[in-house]
Structure 1
Amino acid sequence: MDIQYELSADFTQWPDGILDRLRERGPVHRVRLLPDDDVWLVTSYQDVRAAFSEPGLSSEDRYVNGTGEGDHLGGSMLTADPPNHTRLRRLVSAALTPRRVEGLRPAIARIAGELLDSIAPLGSTDLMASYALPLPTRVICALLGVPDEDRDQVRAWSDVLFAAPVDAAAVADVLTARSALRGYLAELLAAKRRAPGDDLLSALCAHDDRLTDDELVATGVLLLVAGHETTAGLVAAATLRLLTHPGLLTRVREDRALLAPAIEESLRMDGAVVLGVVRYTKRDVTVAGVRIPAGEAVMLCTPAANRDPARFAHPDTVDLARPENPHLSFGHGIHFCLGAPLARLEARIALDALLDRLPDLALAVPPAEVRWRSSAVRRLATLPVRFTPSS
């Protein structure tokens, strides 16, 4: 065992230093995240990227515990290997087309404007709660065909799902929320079959001869939860980066074309996961010269890889002129995130509108007081800001 630490609240707030030290000591480590929860952590960019395509590594936890019961995204393409993954991804790709994503542009702009109409007169707000989170929630619910009146409940279930399971009560809350969300989606999908609409869930129901009921529900959970949690984190983190780097903020205000590289740098430096993407060894595998036995959990540590100086010059600096930015925040290979184009589109529109409507936006607290949520999915808990009120 190289080093032991717990995935505590403190680690969630400031993980970069620990991960940097691990990467500097070597590309692969056996670490303890929680009591009785040991994993192999891969930290270098080259080896993380290669591991995404390693045939001896599986997305299916049956190679370790054989149940899948602890994973609320179990049964979706996220936790499947080919050929099931290939089938599920093809069906979702056919429904989530570039044309459908681009068609959301007016709706995203309208939602951003409506939220900012409510925020602008206030003079201060928690931008996480009032803007970064509700915007992608409304977008993904509209895309999937979730009724407006159900949005708050769906978001509440999602919040519980990604809370850190620090004790038995928290674990029970997660299991209850997972059951409730899956039950809700099962009923919603049944309604879509009876009366299809022009939405993504209805499009998936059209292929239910190629999807089991469990797969449909699991896919719905994946799209719904991942479709707003990660984008909310991106919008808030990118805003925080700009507000804590005044020179960058000025440049982006004056040249909105720089929003695209600013978003990519935020994705690289503040990706949606605290530790990375878990895989399981189907057989003995060798990663960076280290033999990992069959039946082990392997964490592909994308946050450490994204700050690897062997791949990114000045990795701790926001560089809007970085010549290329092949970060791994959306994964790599067959599991590259299908929602990446939508996340980028939402972030671009959200930040553009924010800079237009709140020209003197600033943090309302010192940067060190901004807290991250204690969760495997990395996003800010709050983002207190201030600005000159306007109508």
Structure 2
Amino acid sequence: MTQQPVLLPYSDPAFVADPFPLYRQLREDGPVRRAIIAGGLDAWVVTRYEDGLAALSDPRLSSDVRDASDTRLMEQLPEFERESMMSNMLRSDPPDHTRLRRLVSKAFTARRVAELRPRVQEIADRLLDAVVPAGRAELVADFALPLPVTVISELLGVPVDDRYDFQRWTDDLLLRGEKMPDPVVVNETWQRMRAYLTKLLEAKRARPADDLLSALITARDEEQRLNEDELIAMTFLLLVAGYITTVNLIGGGIAALLAHPDQLRLLRDDPELLPGAIEEFLRYDGPVSPGIARFAREDVEIAGVAVPRGATVLIASAIADRDPARFADPDRLDVTRQDNGHLAFGHGIHYCLGAPLARLEGQIAIGTALRRLPDLALAVPPTELSWRPGGLRGPVRLPVTFTPGASGA
């Protein structure tokens, strides 16, 4: 008997707050499960780890939404996504993806990220200096959000006077509150941001600086450079990779610790566990949920299930990362977990370019918060926390209390 598609109820606050019981049911139903996802779209959800790992590297599954047979998917994309699609590394396939990734990798290097460590620590301490005397804070607005937006703004070379607008536009486009955003507002915001980025790129061409935008402008690959549309699309993609997911990693990681006091104590007692703890936060309740969309170029078989050409395939990392066939006791947060090969940053040629930066910021932010905010606790019952709907998951607000301290401690 054919299974009926399962509805993923993004408008239901209870599901948004805790989607994992339904995710578990989907995984138990089978390795590939039909579902109705955001916008009423039909998708084939890959629920298990090994199948997800294979699907992320399968060239028959495209990143280009134009390969989808359901035209509603393209119609429902915000204008900024449709406009940047031809130039966006995230939604392209080889050979275009290969060229774009190689060019960006020349500018966004591991050395450039590693050199940020002292500055990220300085920003984290400055933000906490402002709240430690009060003994209470809203850790998303006061800490998890301003830290990565300051880092990515400095990395890209956004002037200080422009950063408030830059943050506000990015938030309007990507950082949803409890409700899905108004498409009209989103498109108006994108036009303002695009106009700003065009002027900023002109300024960087006229006067290059030691920042990522200048490096992207000058990056070459066999005498090819990024064109204007590609530069704007890449800047926006770096905002997603270097800002939005990190906000959710920091906020979600601290929320997970506050819900598991035993794990918080372990991490306070042994800060050396922090790098592994970041990987566990990404696995347990990562910043992307339920996962990554691909589109079948041809009829394919995934885990023995026939998937037709043009189908939307949702490789559900948030479901696969709790697969008991891959992770022992997968529904338990364990900051000492070893061999944590989660799929939160993807896999294969589309592995998240911003992963090293997100890890660096997550380690510094969460480690500094644990060190400087003694007796850290939620200021509201856990059931009162609200979470962002849609594909980018994290707490909207995180009100906390702690023992007051002195600034600069």
TM-score range, shorter chain: over 0.9
- Is 1:92 aligned with 2:92? no
Q: Residue 28 of structure 1 contacts residue 40 of structure 1 at CA under 8 Å; is this kept in 2?
A: yes
* CA distance in 1 between partners of 2:267 and 2:98 (Å): 40
Provide the residue aligned with 2:395 in structure 1: 380
* CA distance in 1 between partners of 2:136 and 2:29 (Å): 44
* CA distance in 2 between partners of 1:84 and 1:141 (Å): 27
Instruction: Give the 3-state SS of the residue equivalent to 1:326 in structure 2.
Output: coil
Q: Residue 277 of structure 2 contacts residue 336 of structure 2 at CA under 8 Å; is this kept in 1?
A: no
* CA distance in 2 between partners of 1:87 and 1:270 (Å): 33
Deviation at 1:30, TM superposition (A): 1.5
Aligned amino acid, residue 158 of structure 2: V
Deviation at 1:312, TM superposition (A): 0.4
* CA distance in 2 between partners of 1:2 and 1:39 (Å): 9
Q: Residue 46 of structure 2 contacts residue 52 of structure 2 at CA under 8 Å; is this kept in 1?
A: yes
Provide the residue aligned with 1:50 in structure 2: 54
Q: Residue 15 of structure 1 contacts residue 274 of structure 1 at CA under 8 Å; is this kept in 2?
A: no
With 302-311 and 283-292 compared, the bigger mean Cα shift is at 283-292
Deviation at 1:67, TM superposition (A): 5.8
Deviation at 1:258, TM superposition (A): 1.0
Aligned amino acid, residue 183 of structure 2: V
* CA distance in 2 between partners of 1:4 and 1:382 (Å): 27
Q: Residue 306 of structure 1 contacts residue 327 of structure 1 at CA under 8 Å; is this kept in 2?
A: yes
Q: Residue 106 of structure 2 contacts residue 219 of structure 2 at CA under 8 Å; is this kept in 1?
A: no
Provide the residue aligned with 1:146 in structure 2: 158
Provide the residue aligned with 1:279 in structure 2: 294
Q: Residue 164 of structure 1 contacts residue 170 of structure 1 at CA under 8 Å; is this kept in 2?
A: no
- Is 1:232 aligned with 2:232? no
- Is 1:3 aligned with 2:6? yes
Provide the residue aligned with 1:357 in structure 2: 372
Aligned amino acid, residue 17 of structure 2: Q
**Distance 1:166-1:295 versus aligned 2 partners, 3 A rule:** farther
* CA distance in 2 between partners of 1:123 and 1:320 (Å): 26
- Length-normalised TM-score, structure 2: 0.91
Provide the residue aligned with 2:172 in structure 1: 160
Aligned amino acid, residue 34 of structure 2: R
* CA distance in 2 between partners of 1:166 and 1:136 (Å): 23
Q: Residue 178 of structure 2 contacts residue 389 of structure 2 at CA under 8 Å; is this kept in 1?
A: no
* CA distance in 2 between partners of 1:156 and 1:376 (Å): 20
Q: Residue 144 of structure 1 contacts residue 224 of structure 1 at CA under 8 Å; is this kept in 2?
A: no
* CA distance in 1 between partners of 2:9 and 2:120 (Å): 39
Aligned amino acid, residue 54 of structure 1: D
- Length-normalised TM-score, structure 1: 0.95
- Is 1:247 aligned with 2:262? yes
* CA distance in 2 between partners of 1:273 and 1:325 (Å): 17
Q: Residue 233 of structure 1 contacts residue 380 of structure 1 at CA under 8 Å; is this kept in 2?
A: yes
In structure 2, stretches of 5+ residues that fail to align are: none
Q: 1:201 aligns with which of 207, 213, 220?
A: 213
Deviations 1:233-289 (A, max 9, x none): 111111112222222111211110011121111000111112210111111111111
**Distance 1:149-1:4 versus aligned 2 partners, 3 A rule:** same
With 50-59 and 64-73 compared, the bigger mean Cα shift is at 64-73
Deviations 1:15-40 (A, max 9, x none): 11111100001011121124541111
In structure 1, stretches of 5+ residues that fail to align are: none
**Distance 1:369-1:36 versus aligned 2 partners, 3 A rule:** closer
Matches within 5 A, 1:232-381: 232-381=247-396
Instruction: Give the 3-state SS of the residue equivalent to 1:279 in structure 2.
Output: strand
Aligned amino acid, residue 140 of structure 1: I
Aligned amino acid, residue 22 of structure 2: I
- Is 1:104 aligned with 2:116? yes
Provide the residue aligned with 2:66 in structure 1: 62
Deviations 1:177-230 (A, max 9, x none): 222222221211111111111000100011374212111100001102331110
Deviation at 1:164, TM superposition (A): 7.8
Aligned amino acid, residue 4 of structure 1: L
Aligned amino acid, residue 149 of structure 2: T
Deviation at 1:321, TM superposition (A): 2.9
Deviation at 1:352, TM superposition (A): 1.8
**Distance 1:379-1:36 versus aligned 2 partners, 3 A rule:** closer
RMSD: 1.9
Q: Residue 63 of structure 2 contacts residue 295 of structure 2 at CA under 8 Å; is this kept in 1?
A: yes
**Distance 1:122-1:332 versus aligned 2 partners, 3 A rule:** same
* CA distance in 2 between partners of 1:126 and 1:320 (Å): 24
* CA distance in 2 between partners of 1:262 and 1:355 (Å): 13
Q: Residue 241 of structure 2 contacts residue 352 of structure 2 at CA under 8 Å; is this kept in 1?
A: no
Q: 2:44 aligns with which of 40, 46, 55?
A: 40
Q: Residue 140 of structure 2 contacts residue 398 of structure 2 at CA under 8 Å; is this kept in 1?
A: yes
Aligned amino acid, residue 58 of structure 1: S
Deviations 1:100-155 (A, max 9, x none): 11110111011011101101112111101000110011001111101122222222
Deviations 1:336-362 (A, max 9, x none): 111111111111111221122212211
* CA distance in 1 between partners of 2:193 and 2:341 (Å): 34
Deviations 1:308-329 (A, max 9, x none): 1111010011223322000000
**Distance 1:33-1:256 versus aligned 2 partners, 3 A rule:** same
Aligned amino acid, residue 63 of structure 1: D
Q: Residue 157 of structure 2 contacts residue 211 of structure 2 at CA under 8 Å; is this kept in 1?
A: yes
**What count of residue pairs does the alignment treat as equivalent?**
390
Deviation at 1:7, TM superposition (A): 2.0
